[in-house]
Structures are given as structure tokens and as C-alpha cells.
Amino acid sequence: MCGIVGYIGFRDAYPIIMKGLQRLEYRGYDSAGIALYDGNGINLAKTRGKVKDLQERSETNIPLNGNVGIGHTRWATHGVPNDVNSHPHYSNSGNLIIIHNGIIENYESIKQELTKRGYTFESDTDTEVLINLIEEVKKKENVLLGKAVQIALNQVVGAYAIAVFDVQKPDEIVVAKLGSPLAIGIGEDEFFIASDASPFIEFTNKTVYLEDQELAIVRLGKEIKLRKIENDAIAYPMVQELQFNLEEIEKGMYDHFMLKEIYEQPSAIKDTYRGRLLVDQGIIKMAGIDQNLEKFLNTNRIIIVACGTSWHAGLVAEYIFEDLARIPVEVEYASEFRYRNPVITDKDVVIAISQSGETADTLAAIKLAKDKGAYVFGVCNVVGSSIARETHAGAYTHAGPEIGVAST
């Protein structure tokens, strides 16, 4: 996965984007880049390495002024980690520039077709192919950027969260999502774009989380324009108020985030149980889901789906549930769960665990379980994340940023 940050408004974009990239570095740490629009053109800096390396290169090589910009921290997929493959990526004309989290699976066939039409490519990335596809659509169909992005995305296969900027329309940024997370922070005469809300929490607590197959145009002085990518239907943004604060995502007195998480575990566990689990006469009740408590009481089986360290947490949960509730529990890798055609009924409870709340395989497992009639309970850390919104009910762990996920 990769981290994306964008800003358009009245403030200097550079410090906002750079600080946002630092907060998202858990999402990508092999290369980083930033593009700033200064009113005349784009100033671009990108480099292999960490965000601190990008900061040094930016402050040495490019002007830092501008009220519009996009930034990216990469975890390499297509193309090795180097300066050229780092995001952002230009289109051939230099008018369009993009950042991208995800994978375009059919990029090779698209690249071959664009090459026949005269396009050239500097990088080995699928992302550079996507921005040139958008440019080709924009020219061929004679449409504005938002429409060109929509048409192009209907031709690609894969997952994406993207932010696209056009120097010919410098008062807007076009963003879109399928499978990868994307949040839009809404301020006074300004917008923030990021993979999660942490880059803009000190500026606004109002955010819109894009749903899959949604495209948004954020424009200075106007409301968000939201469309469905598949059929161009109008969508209406649901503005949510963030429930966490800046202190939760800063290191504070600690040298690094993992140390902070380790020391904060006791209070995090107490807060989670105090607010969400009530013990009454030997029965554990889950606060806020009384209307669905019968699903837990009458279940024949609990299935826990997760990936990575969350899967290991599921193993611990298996021992606890079977010991205390005497209910059969299965723990599965979410990545395998959706491919093996599992036997699931409406009597089953599926517990989905994800620290970020955006794990793609876990989200796919949730969708499968819901389609088969199971009751799905989510356990995650990020308020308002996809898993929090896609499950029937759930609990937040409040364990801090994903940077120290191993301790959680």
C-alpha cells in the first residue's frame, strides 16, 4: 500500500503535505514525492528513500510556495524503488500529474495501445500508464478532467485511490477510489485529501470517506461534486465528524510509536472495554448492539478473518471464545477465505479484525460473509474506516497509529 496526501486552499501546501506524508509513512517507506503548483506551473521533487529524504531534496531543489499540491509515500509494486518510479507521475504533455495507491492489473495492455499512439514512458509503473490513459481520453473525447478520469477508470482493472491535478484547471483536484482508502477533509475555503484522516486532523474534524467506485471533484469556493464512476450517477457526500484528536497520532514524549503503543496498551484496553463491553452476572454484553445481541447468543459458530498480526490476534480470541463461551471458533486468513467457497449460513458470526480498517482482503471477506447472510462484527482502530462502515457493528481498539502495529 501507499500513502497519498493532497491540499487545495489558502495555506502553504508544502508543510501540510510533508507533515501528512510523515504521518502516512507506515503505508510506504521506500520512496516519496511531492508536486506543488505555484500559480504558473508544477514544481516536482521525488526520491528513493524516506520522507526525510524527500524533505531534504525538496528544500534544496524546488521552490516551496503554492497553495495546491499532492504528495505520495510509496511501497513499490510495479517498478523497483528508485527516483524515476516514485510518484507523482506526469502525463506526456506535462499538464496532468497523478498520485496513486493500488494496482492497475491490465496496465500492460493499455501501455501497448498507448505506445502505438505515440506515448512514451519513463518509469516502469502502472501509474504512469494510468495518467497517460486519462490524457488520451481527455484529448480524444474533448472532455474536462473529471469526465476523462471517469471514462479512463471504466477501462482499467484493479484497485486505486488517486488524486489528479491539471495545470489547465488549477482550482480543482479530482480524486477517485476503488478498493484503496481515500478521505477528504473539509475546511473553511480549503480541502484536504489523504489515505486516512491523520494528515488533516488539526485543521478540520469534518471528513468525507469515498465509497468504492466514487469520484469526487474538490474545487475552491464550491462544494464537493461526487459521482459514481460506473454510470455517472450523482452521489451525495456524507460528512462525518472525526472522533479522535491530534494527541492520539503524535509520538508525544516517546522516541517512537511502537514504544508509545506499548505503554498505552493498558489504557487503550480499559477504554475499549469500558465503553463497549459490559460484564453483568457472568455475561459479556456488547454496548451499542443490543438490537443484534441475539446474533451472538444464538450463533453456532464464530469465524475470525484477518491478515498478518491481526490474524495472530484472532488466534488469541479463538482461545478466549472457546474457553469462556464454549462456541466453536475458526480463524482464517482473509486472503484465503474468499477464494475457497466457504460454507457460511445466517447462523454464523464473522469477526473481522484489521488495525487500519482498510485491509483489502479483509474487506473482501466481509463482503462475502454478508452476501451469504452472516452477521459481521468489525474490530479495528481507525474511526470511520471502511471496515467500521461495512460491518453490522463493531468495536474500536483505540491503539494508536498503525506504525507500531506489531505491539497491537
Residue of 30, 17, 140, 124 whose CA lies nearest to 74:
30
- What value does the mean pLDDT of the chain take? 87
Query: Would you identify the CATH topology of the domain 3-242?
Result: Glutamine Phosphoribosylpyrophosphate, subunit 1, domain 1 (3.60.20)
pLDDT at 114 over 90: yes
Residue 171's pLDDT is what?
Answer: 95
Q: Give the pLDDT band of residue 408 (cuts 50, 70, 90).
A: low
Residue 20's pLDDT is what?
Answer: 94
Query: Would you identify the CATH topology of the domain 252-407?
Result: Rossmann fold (3.40.50)
Spatial CB neighbours of 229, under 8 Å, sequence gap ≥ 6: 150, 153, 154, 176, 178, 213, 214, 215
Instruction: Choose from 320-324, 379-383, 398-402 the range with maximum mean pLDDT.
Output: 320-324
Residue 275's pLDDT is what?
Answer: 47
Respond yes or no on whether the N-terminal peptide bond of residue 81 is cis (omega within 30° of 0): no
Q: Give the pLDDT band of residue 277 (cuts 50, 70, 90).
A: low
**Where do you find CATH 3.40.50.10490 in the chain?**
252-407
Which has the higher per-residue pLDDT, 158 or 256? Answer: 158
Residue 242's pLDDT is what?
Answer: 78
Which has the higher per-residue pLDDT, 117 or 405? Answer: 117
User: Quick one: which H or E segment has residue 288?
Assistant: none
Q: Give the pLDDT band of residue 395 (cuts 50, 70, 90).
A: confident
Mean pLDDT of 136-158: 96
Span of 73-82, 146-155, 166-175, 312-321 with lowest mean pLDDT: 73-82
Backbone φ, ψ for residue 262 (5° rounding): -60, -45
Instruction: Choose from 27-31, 248-252, 258-262 the range with maximum mean pLDDT.
Output: 27-31
pLDDT at 391 over 70: yes
Spatial CB neighbours of 181, under 8 Å, sequence gap ≥ 6: 101, 161, 195, 196, 209, 356, 358, 385, 386
Classified as helix, coil or strand, 342 is coil
Span of 163-167, 287-291, 395-399 with lowest mean pLDDT: 287-291
pTM, rounded to two decimals: 0.80
Q: Give the pLDDT band of residue 170 (cuts 50, 70, 90).
A: very high
Backbone φ, ψ for residue 208 (5° rounding): -120, 125
Show the cell assigned to 214: 466514487
Q: What is the pLDDT of residues 185-237, one digit of tens each?
A: 999 999 999 998 889 999 999 999 998 999 999 999 899 999 999 999 999 88
Number of Cβ within 10 Å of residue 234's Cβ equals 8
**Where do you find CATH 3.60.20.10 in the chain?**
3-242
Residue 180's pLDDT is what?
Answer: 85
